[in-house]
Amino acid sequence: MEEESDKEVKLAKQAPLVDQYGTDKYYSARLLLREFQEDCQRFEKVGLKLLPLDIVDVLFRCKLLRATDSEKEYRQRGGFSQLDIGPVSPTWADKAKPLDVIENQYVSALEGDIRDRTLLSHISCLNSGPVEAKPQQGFFDDLFTSLGLSFACFLEGDHLIEKQKQLQPGLITYDLATAMEFFCASSIGYATTGTRNYCFWRGAAWLRTLLNLLRIAAFIHPGQREFTIGPKMEPPTFPVFLGMHSHGSYQWNEDAKESWQKFPDGCLIRSHGFRGLSNMWLDLRNFSKIKKFMLDHKIVFEHLRNPWSPTNTGDVAPTLDILSSATQMPDLGAKILLIYCCLEHLFVPEEAGAENKKYIIGGLKALNPKLSSWFDQLYKKRNEYAHKGFVLRTHGTWKLISDSMTNVMSLLVAKLSVNNTP
């Protein structure tokens, strides 16, 4: 942690303070989740509600305080806006104190930053049917209760006003517009306890997993299918904490991150072919099947109890990310290729250079030999697409894609069951 904080100070000192237009620039610290993955696991196992990143951040700011010549420079190189300095960040008034004193002071102050927080991820492209019929809120409430997990759903409706009254009592007036803004509606939240960093990254992992599973479940068990120009493709938004009156900005660089480091994506578009996209449709026709899907795959959430584990970062997050992408691809052949990539990811060692098929067959025989005939069909269709460049949308092709997603999820569950230590 000392080494990484020293590197951060060096990088911050090298960063320019103004851009080409003369506008002030603020340094953005590195995301060190990969570098401290093992430490994150250890912290989680002993019940610490903070991350190594918290300590690195404190050490970085304490050292930066001594390495800058003015308060303005300290704020810019520390990445502070005028309102960002909180109880665990040294202020310019601390500059005269010995370094070890302020380091001990603010590392100890991290304990005071541990509290309950709910991280919100905005969702869009969810078709609720007629405006006067909103059964989705009840569906999500029932689903989260059945799962026994700390999720909450805030869909548009007058019920949000009552929820805001409970969480924010004493306001002069309450109305739907301010309630929707307060809850970033429509949104799904995950509640946890810890430092701000801990709540953010843990909450992001749980929300990302839930939204990916929801996309996969609604693809396998679709409600009404509508192919119009209605869906609005959006990038993920920055998750925000409930009660902070903040709104997440669009994030355009998620493809630069590993699957387990990506922000949760609440854009719920899907594609069932026809080279078209559709809003996700949830209604009474698929409520029960989606709920059963979630309960059948609850082991995925159990492994999220330690979201920094290699099982989660190496198996769960990439597999769900790939399958989630496959639900949105308009091209059927691309869906098949992505599903095949999932199998390679689950069973082929990183160092393998060829003969990937034999590793997949070996994995199938170990986990579920009955799926061998299905794999033969998938492999044949994958080769057909590779040589022709297209796959015809027949009933058989569509069934193969749907069955394939179901089977890949069953293989993920089987693999997690073998590695049954979250």
Mean pLDDT across 179-201: 94
Residue 234 — pLDDT band, cuts 50, 70, 90?
Answer: confident
Q: What pLDDT score was predicted for residue 422?
A: 55
Q: Calculate what percentage of the chain has a pLDDT beyond 70.
A: 94
Shared domain check, 146 and 98: no
Q: Tell me: the pLDDT tens digits for 243-289?
A: 777 778 888 777 788 888 888 888 888 787 766 788 888 888 899 99
Shared domain check, 135 and 107: no
Residue 321 maps to a domain:
no
Residue 203 maps to a domain:
yes
Q: By residue range, what is the domain housing residue 122?
A: 115-302
Stated pTM of the model: 0.89
Shared domain check, 281 and 171: yes
Contacts 24+ apart (CB under 8 A), 7-13: 8/56, 8/60, 8/64, 9/60, 9/63, 9/64, 9/67, 12/60, 12/64, 12/77, 12/78, 13/67, 13/77
Mean pLDDT across 161-172: 90
Shared domain check, 142 and 109: no
What is 282-299 written as a DSSP string? --TTTHHHHHHHHHHTHH
Q: Tell me: the pLDDT tens digits for 113-157?
A: 999 999 999 998 887 555 544 788 999 999 999 999 999 999 988
Shared domain check, 141 and 56: no
Residue 159 maps to a domain:
yes
Mark which of 113, 138, 159 sits at the end of a domain.
113
Angle at 203 between CA 163 and CA 404, to 5 degrees: 110
- If residue 154 lies in a helix (H) or strand (E), which one and from where to where? strand 151-154
Q: In the predicted model, is pLDDT for residue 328 greater than 80?
A: yes
Give me the amino acid identity at 401.
I
Which is higher by pLDDT, 88 or 41? 41
Shared domain check, 188 and 128: yes
Shared domain check, 394 and 369: yes
Q: What pLDDT score was predicted for residue 195?
A: 94
Q: Using an 8 Å Cβ cutoff, are 301 and 147 in contact?
A: yes
Highest mean pLDDT pick, 281-285, 335-339, 417-421: 335-339
Shared domain check, 183 and 274: yes
Lowest mean pLDDT among 4-18, 50-64, 88-102, 222-236: 222-236
Q: What pLDDT score was predicted for residue 133?
A: 47
Mean pLDDT across 52-60: 93
Residue 320 maps to a domain:
no
Residue 312 maps to a domain:
no
Lowest mean pLDDT among 23-37, 246-260, 346-360, 394-408: 246-260
Q: In the predicted model, is pLDDT for residue 82 greater than 90?
A: no
Residue 65 maps to a domain:
yes
Q: Could you give the number of structural domains in the chain?
A: 3
Q: What pLDDT score was predicted for residue 352?
A: 77
Residue 308 maps to a domain:
no
Q: What pLDDT score was predicted for residue 228?
A: 61
